Amino acid sequence: MARVQLVHPESATGTTKQLFDVVQQAFGGVPNVARLMGNSPAVLNAFLQFSTAMSTGLLTEKLRDQLKLAASESNSCDYCLAALCAIGTGHGLTAADIMGGRQAVSADPKSDAALKFAKRVVVEKGRVSDDDLQTAKTAGLTDGELVEVVATVVLGFFTNYLNNAFKTEVDFAPAAKLVG
């Protein structure tokens, strides 16, 4: 059970209604995480603007989804894992891509390096070593891409922490649990 009330699209007004219309158009519905954010139009607006800005960056949509999967797995966010698994398939991620994101591995060397760098960012709470940076750069990641990897992890953490703090009810098919 959610710890705060969700804002229902039918009763939303003003800025919240306008933002819900944007979410509805993008997702074909207003998922519970957006309804949670709807309690603060500033938060929902910031999330949408950050997400939109990241979609115009250097990283592919696939890699951004995999990075958020890695963050969500590390934070045990069942909501985000379920949402990203559902959305990821719509973005062309295969089951192997999804599993790779969750485990921070990829068959593509540059994506693998990005995922491993993201994992180091998570584990070290941002305090990555010079060796971590050099390994990522040697694999071909540019400074801009590295900045976007960290920003994508932060965006993932935002929704992870929000959903974990308020126990947002999962309105997507649950993600399979990792074994081993």
For 19-42, the pLDDT digits (tens) are 999 999 999 999 999 999 999 999
Angstrom distances, CA of residue 41 to CA of 10, 35, 88, 162, 164: 16, 10, 26, 15, 20
The Cα 18–Cα 96 span in angstroms is 37
Q: Evaluate whether residue 180 is within a structural domain.
A: no
| 174 touches 86 (CB < 8 A) | no
Q: Which residue's entry shows tokens 């900045």?
A: 147
Shared domain for 38 and 72, answered yes or no, is: no
Shared domain for 95 and 32, answered yes or no, is: no
> What residues have CB less than 8 Å from 143, skipping those under 6 apart?
none
Question: Which residues span the domain enclosing 111?
Answer: 61-166
pLDDT in tens, 70-118: 999 999 999 999 999 999 988 889 999 999 999 999 999 999 999 999 9
The Cα 4–Cα 145 span in angstroms is 36
Shared domain for 158 and 97, answered yes or no, is: yes
Shared domain for 29 and 117, answered yes or no, is: no
Shared domain for 46 and 101, answered yes or no, is: no
Shared domain for 14 and 97, answered yes or no, is: no
Residue 179 is predicted with a pLDDT of 75
Helix (H) or strand (E) holding 180: none
Output the pTM of the full model: 0.95
